[in-house]
Structure 1
Amino acid sequence: MPAPAFPDHTLESAPAPARRSMAAVVNKQGYLPVAVGRLATSPQLLDGFLKISALFESTTLDPLSREVLIMTVAARNDCHICVAMHTAKLTALGAEADLIAALREAKRLPLPDERLEAVRQFTLAVLATAGAVDEGALQGFLAHGYTPRNALEVVLGIGAYTMSTLANRMVDAPMDRQLAEFAPAPM
């Protein structure tokens, strides 16, 4: 039987350049997610994602707005691990259950919070137009208290979480037990 294309690397079995990034994840989360072990097959991808996601976390977008963007990308790209992980994060942030449900299910109904709906709609517009949003989409975003800087930070978030969702889908990692309670229902 051939070896799996994306093995479940441990800190000991991973390529040496991936070990520091993996150790940082363990230190932050308290365990090594299977997806991280599999992404370690490419130390550059793992390190790149961790760096770009840290940059996104440092933007001027507030935490709930960032999570709305992430869940919008994760649900759109059908990344079950990302949906579970960011459901957990939204829960920890105290997000309302109806907001989380709407994001998880990628409902076309507006989110209960107009400002967060503006982030979701702008994220979808950036994705749909490959960044060539029309003036109405940009003004709709800005009208909810966001800034031109925030608009560019949306692009940063889309880049980070497109990388993550596509890579996580490719490696097809199982759900970690730590995230099981936040996992989407099987289709």
Structure 2
Amino acid sequence: MPFTEPFAEHTVETAPAGSVRALEGIAKNLGSVPPPAAKQAESPELLNGFLRMSALFESVTLEPVAREVVIMTVAARNECGLCVRMHAGKLEKLGAGKSLVAALAEQRPLESAELEAVRVFTCAVLDGRGEVDDARLEAFYAHGYTRRNALEVVLGIGTYTLSTFANRLVG
């Protein structure tokens, strides 16, 4: 039976040169480097690509809690427990209630109609692999969201699909 060696949990001292700055930045921002990020450091391109994409997603016009709804929807559907825990903490820092966090983690409808529209639209994009019918688009727009916001949801899905898949791969 073949033995597959686990991914190394890199430090600033052991990481490939291209990952060192990223690890230093993560440690500065979070106080430490989460194990999945330390393992993803094996690929500077993946780690740095995710961090750039994440920064881009943070700069979109969707409100911070709506962005977290996209992230939590992707994380819960992709069964990335670490991602769910990390972003639950971020939602709480943003002032989101525990009921919102629990509903997102459990993939249940949300009490806020506006945030539920984001969750449902995110699911529609995922389910349709990007193809969303006019009725679902109109339902999203009816809550004050725009075509730009729809594309921002796609950016969030891509960013956090990359993250959740990489987290699951590295264990």
For normalisation by structure 1, the TM-score amounts to 0.88
| 1:20-70 alpha-carbon deviations (Å, 9 max, x no partner) | 111111111111111111000111000000000100000000000000000
Q: How does 1:98-177 map to 2 (within 5 A)?
A: 98-107=99-108, 110-172=109-171
User: Hey, what does 1:40 align to over in structure 2?
Assistant: 41
Distance of 1:27 and 1:83 partners within structure 2: 21
Question: How far apart, CA to CA, are the structure 2 residues paired with 1:87 and 1:99?
Answer: 9
AA partner of residue 87 (structure 1) = A
Corresponding residue for residue 49 of structure 1: 50
How far off its partner does 1:3 sit? 8.1
Report the counterpart of residue 25 of structure 1 in structure 2.
26
Counterpart of 1:182? none
Report the Cα distance in structure 2 between the residues aligned to 1:49 and 1:57, rounded to whole angstroms: 12
| SS in structure 1 at match of 2:75 | helix
CA distance in structure 2 between the aligned counterparts of 1:3 and 1:126, rounded to whole angstroms: 35
Distance 2:131 2:36 in 1: 32
Over 3 Å counting, the alpha-carbon distance change for 1:112 and 1:38 in structure 2 is same
Amino acid at match of 2:88: T
Q: CA offset at residue 5 of structure 1?
A: 3.4
Matched, 1:97 2:98: yes
Deviations 1:80-118 (A, max 9, x none): 1100000100111110111111001112xx201000000
What amino acid is aligned across from residue 73 of structure 1 in structure 2?
A: V
State the Cα RMSD in Å.
1.1
Residues in 1 aligned to 2:49 and 2:170: alpha-carbon distance in whole angstroms = 16
- Counterpart CA distance in 1 for 2:64 and 2:81 is 21
Q: 1:13 maps to what in 2?
A: 14
Task: Give me the whole-angstrom Cα distance separating, in 1, the residues matched to 2:115 and 2:10.
Answer: 37
5+ unaligned residues in a row in structure 2: which ranges?
A: none
CA shift at 1:154, angstroms? Answer: 0.4
Quote the Cα distance in structure 1 between the aligned partners of 2:33 and 2:73. 25
Which portions of structure 1, spanning 4 or more consecutive aligned residues, are displaced by more than 3 angstroms? Answer: 2-5
Equivalent pairs counted in the alignment come to 169
Give the 3-state SS of the residue equivalent to 1:118 in structure 2: helix
Give distance in 2, aligned partners of 1:86 and 1:169: 16
For residues 123 and 116 of structure 2, the distance between their equivalents in structure 1, rounded to whole angstroms, comes to 10
Distance 1:22 1:61 in 2: 27
